A and B are shown apart, each in its own frame.
Chain A
């Protein structure tokens, strides 16, 4: 659907999902698969433009999730569904495993408790290792390691292609994705009338997956918000692909009360990332990177994995997690109002999204009541961006390599621009293709990208010429 088109409110959707982050995309897919008529509403110029654009890309097992929590159940359900569908969708699964590393005797004393909790959470493949054993698994670790817990089933995925695949499948089933569309108010009189900057949307149900604005959206829908979003900023440093020779495993810290802490982690794209920090702030939009913090992250990475010293920095980024005043997920089902809120999905959203989607459909109950008529599951086959599997540049007739750092071909860029959900901004183009994500950050390709993407992006790369030469 065209970004400028106005909505009339004459169409009645079964469910309107507010927020096209990882959770909203997964919910849209699940309802569309069930046969519902779906509207996915996003105020940003592209999907994944809030919390979901910045995460550590780990597919968690839930070994350290709170016992018997909803979060644990949904992480495990979401993870299982990802394992079931990723091959069909051509999404990667990098089987890195993770080492929870204890660097002091005090931290080491906590590993047994973490192992015990992991077993209670249903994770079997856990091994307590001595320092020497851990360094056999991961020779790059510093010698002052005291002990480690090996979690064999923690994996890494492509955090942007996965939600894009979910939303593509929803679109193939007829879902409407409305970008640059902000819900201003909503009223329920048996069905919902949502007032947006692009006109009215009528829907039987509404799902609030608005992430950093989850509490605001609940208020706009006329509810007394039951939680308060307290944005938690995370900064990350991405090291050059040369770093992947130094580390194959996710390095986790022994967690403390507040956060999972800074991880040193391979990415599906062949880099190593170090982050995130956990910084409380009030601003829900601005996520700045900061010089001293970035330098400290690099120093931290090379303290744990000495081979990372002197590896050049490829990229830096920062994102906000939608934390609330409590640690747990804030899932609210207002049955009398046909409304579901999926709030407070902080750092495990990538793993739990598909599980949250199953949960939302169950809370809705329509599938069980036979309200929807589901059709055949459309095949979605994503272009592979992961280093571990064949990329387009390795195949014939790719047109040309436009971005040499990330080896992105002209054919890939043209395909994404003519796809059902083309990128709405430069970040979206980068996330869909990796163009400009590499070590030169566009030194070579940015001008060519500006030309190829002309007319597609909300903020174009090139400015309008005024007078000029």
Chain B
């Protein structure tokens, strides 16, 4: 069996950036497994979104960004394998991998998981109604449009109001589809002005506080019934697009019995990006939903740097301390902290998200002593950064508290 120093699972921005950073740090055999035939991950789906400004000093659109990643990988002598789909993660770094020649086992001293995110499906949202053809997520829509020049509908109702929703609207409009309406179940748009002016400017009605309460259709979608306040109305349409509601693609952890954080739904990692099982690392959007391609790239680079330093020793043995937090904080990354010598790179800050829009005071306490606090209006799905104090890794308790303003 040919053993790698590091196997990276997933060729999106974070996986590629980590590969390059590790090569630059002198790591020997780096194997990058990508299940598709291209690099770029989710960025490939977005034909119109700009990527690359911070990492490459210029702007690329969608697939062009993936091609730039491919050139970077080629320049750095990485063992890149397309069409390789990982089926199982072993405790000791052995991976069961499917490729066009069948099954094989690959092993490495460390494994870096950069499997990204997926959108929450209609099924996982428990939306009431029939189950006809024509119900998709943004990623699916963009694959139809960008890779196959097809469309799954002419006149969809779109659910959501994240950045990716705007991307979905744009894809519809530029491919001859006209959304019938955009619905956000919450009382406010998840993107702020001026971006939230976009749907009405494009002539697409945007309803807040609006829920899909029924889907009708036998073959294809024929209509949805929506509820706004006490009013239920029927909108005729031939498709429904559920946009956003990103969730980490952490299924391999779950099916392999490796620890997943209940807040982020991604693998729990420490300040170096190291999982509970210290042979495994994770970086990019699999850590938490959801950040930009550029963010994922920089995170991949930083965790790749830490991983390269970690390879010089044995896998960390110290049991991690769990970061604790109050509701309505949804997640904290890193959610584990391990004492020991400081590695270069890694996660310099805590990243937080809230479950709902809330006003109040967020505070950080280390071993019972408050070391940081701020009062603000906190929004769900917006990134919150709290600098991670150096003494956090040796602490017995690290806790994020929250006091809601009433």
Contacts and interface: CB of A to CB of B under 8 A. Distances in A.
A288 B254 contact: no
Given A439-B251, A443-B139, A450 B127 contact: no
Nearest to A244: B255
Contacts of A440: 118, 121
B35 interface: yes
Contacts of A398: 100, 102
Contact of A441 (B98, B123, B152): B123
Given A242-B255, A288-B215, A462-B152, 13 more contacts: A242-B254, A285-B218, A290-B128, A393-B98, A394-B102, A401-B85, A407-B98, A425-B219, A448-B147, A451-B150, A459-B220, A460-B133, A463-B150
A450 B148 contact: yes
Contacts of A407: 85, 87, 98
17 contacts: A245-B255, A287-B130, A317-B131, A394-B102, A397-B100, A398-B100, A401-B98, A407-B85, A426-B133, A441-B137, A444-B139, A446-B140, A447-B144, A447-B152, A451-B148, A462-B150, A463-B150
A289 interface: yes
Contacts of B148: 447-448, 450-451, 462
Interface string A87-116: 000000000000000000000000000000
A459 B219 contact: yes
B153 interface: yes
B133 A316 contact: no
Nearest to B125: A291
A63 B177 CA distance: 55
Nearest to B129: A288
Contacts of B218: 285
- Chief secondary structure at chain A's binding surface: loop
A314 to B, nearest CB: 7
B251 A462 contact: no
Contacts of B101: 396-397
A313 B123 contact: yes
B147 A447 contact: yes
The 3 closest A-B pairs by CB, nearest first: A242-B254, A459-B219, A468-B176
A335 interface: no
Contacts of A240: 251, 254-255
Contacts of A439: 118, 251
B152 A463 contact: yes
Residue of B83, B123, B144, B239 most packed against chain A (CB within 10 A): B123
Interface string A310-327: 111111111000000000
A284 interface: no
B121 A441 contact: yes
A10 B153 CA distance: 42
Contacts of B152: 446-447, 450, 461-463
A463 B153 contact: yes
B238 interface: yes
B235 interface: no
Contact of B151 (A290, A312, A397, A465): A465
A286 B214 CA distance: 12
A395 interface: yes
B128 A469 contact: no
Contact of B123 (A287, A290, A315, A397): A315
A450 B144 contact: yes
B187 interface: no
B201 interface: no
A399 interface: yes
B53 interface: no
Interface string B130-144: 111100110110011
B272 interface: no
Contact of A462 (B85, B124, B144): B144
A467 B128 contact: no
B254 A314 contact: no
B129 A289 contact: yes
Interface residues of B, number: 53
A240 B121 CA distance: 13
Interface in A341-360: none
A287 B124 CA distance: 18
Contacts of B127: 289, 291
A431 B143 CA distance: 23
Contacts of B238: 463
A294 interface: yes
A196 B83 CA distance: 48
Contact of A286 (B122, B130, B139, B147): B130
B262 interface: yes
A245 B88 CA distance: 13
Interface in B70-122: 83, 85, 87, 98, 100-103, 118-119, 121-122
B153 A443 contact: no
A400 interface: yes
Contact of B131 (A289, A396, A469): A289
B379 interface: no
Contacts of B35: 401, 404
Contacts of A245: 255, 257
B2 interface: no
A288 B101 CA distance: 42
Given A441-B123, A447-B140, A458-B219, A289 B128 contact: yes
Given A393-B98, A397-B100, A442-B136, A447 B124 contact: no
Contacts of B143: 444, 446-448
B154 interface: yes
A295 interface: yes
A400 B100 contact: yes
A241 interface: yes
Contacts of A315: 123
Interface string B248-279: 00010011010000100100000000000000
B153 to A, nearest CB: 6
Interface in A271-311: 285-291, 294-295, 310-311
Interface string B218-229: 111000000000
Interface string A168-184: 00000000000000000
Contacts of B124: 312-314, 441
B103 A441 contact: no
A463 B134 CA distance: 9
Contacts of B390: none
B150 A447 contact: yes
A463 B98 contact: no
Contact of B126 (A289, A317, A447): A289
A466 interface: yes
Contacts of B251: 240-242, 312, 405, 439
Interface in A432-460: 439-444, 446-448, 450-451, 458-460
